[in-house]
A = this chain, B = another copy of it.
């Protein structure tokens, strides 16, 4: 399994050249040398037309191009990048592809990067700091020209590695400013504030905040921490008579956590609205509530955070906080491509309340 190309049964064909050739060449993939020979020009010229250098005449160029497509030649990425000393790729690491927020963010960054002719190399950590570190090492070894850390978890060693490498980086919410390193700060606090205000305005006074701060291994998620603090601050700021708040914090995958959160407090704690730390958690909350015959929003209001794609398809459509993917991806790519520009100020990413149908005034007799 280690060497998928080995093929002992097949008698080796006599190698065409007397040089060292440990294996019969894999599949006759043409090299730049081959196209140069066939085209009757030098290797340097092939490279020039490949890379759009103006130095080659039109007739040569078109001839070379014909040969290239005749041979089905495409340059070796590794050799090319090695020689070029840098790549046109941006590394992006996210926590988990299954969570739509990360998938959507990755997609948005990819789209934006493509506008500048950059590709992205995407890695998922599954919330594990070890994977996180491994991903960063790998990306750094892959000589990416910038790295975006869009994870919920944090690893200080990985951060050190990045800083030490001098590769431009941007991270979400966490870390201190440093050379070549930008931080995009999502305005979680502002988001939470608008949520709480919205609920209070509707007449709610008994709020349940459902958190999902810890993963199974007991590791704390950084981005959630900020949302937690944002909620606390929002509550403190809203000086309203008899406002009561409760919290539950369940670990594990978001949707499951939301469902179990409801199971754990239902009937024990009184609340007329629940604020879920993410849309995924909100989805689980829906399930927990609805399985018990509770109607949303007539009996209980629910609000999420992230404005993931599916949130408007929930029943009822979820009121949630939007983190504008478009701004996020633009900021990210810009910070990576022009690390000098405004890295000195950290970048604020505003959030926005999207009111849909999961919030309403509390039930009269509640």
Interface residues of A (CB under 8 A from B): 1-2, 4-5, 7, 26-29, 72, 74-82, 86-87, 96-98, 100, 103-104, 106-107, 110, 116-117, 119, 121-122, 124, 137-138, 140-143, 145-146, 161, 164-168, 255, 259, 283-284, 286-287, 290, 309-310, 312-315, 317, 336-340
Contact between A313 and B286, CB atoms less than 8 A apart = yes
Residues of B within 8 A of A340 (CB): 7
Given contacts A76-B143, A143-B78, contact A313 B287 (CB under 8 A): yes
For A4, what are the chain B residues with a Cβ–Cβ distance below 8 Å? 145-146, 168, 336-339
Given A100-B98, A165-B27, CB of A141 within 8 Å of CB of B77: yes
Across-interface contacts of A81 in B (CB, < 8 A): 78
Which residues of B have CB within 8 Å of A76? 82, 141, 143
Chain B positions within 8 Å of A124 at CB level: 107, 110
User: Across chains A and B, which 5 residue pairs bring their CB atoms closest together, nearest first?
Assistant: A27-B166, A77-B141, A97-B103, A78-B82, A77-B142
Taking the nearest CB of chain B, how far is it from the CB of A153, in angstroms?
Answer: 16
Complexed CA–CA distance, A248 and B238 (Å): 50
Query: Nearest Cβ in chain B — how far from A115, in angstroms?
Result: 10
A223 to B203, CA, bound (A): 49
A140 CB contacts on chain B under 8 angstroms: 74
Residue of B nearest to A283 (CB): B313
The smallest beta-carbon distance between A96 and chain B, in angstroms, is 7
The one of B27, B104, B138, B146 that contacts A119, using a Cβ cutoff of 8 Å: B138
Residue ID in chain B nearest A84 by CB atoms: B78
Please list 28 pairs of residues, one from A and one from B, whose beta carbons are closer than 8 Å in the complex, sorted by A's number.
A1-B116, A1-B338, A5-B86, A7-B340, A27-B166, A28-B166, A72-B161, A74-B137, A74-B141, A77-B78, A78-B81, A78-B87, A78-B143, A80-B141, A96-B107, A97-B97, A97-B103, A98-B104, A100-B100, A103-B103, A110-B124, A121-B121, A255-B313, A259-B313, A283-B313, A284-B313, A286-B313, A315-B315
Instruction: Name the B residues within 8 Å of A313 (CB-CB).
Output: 255, 259, 283-284, 286-287
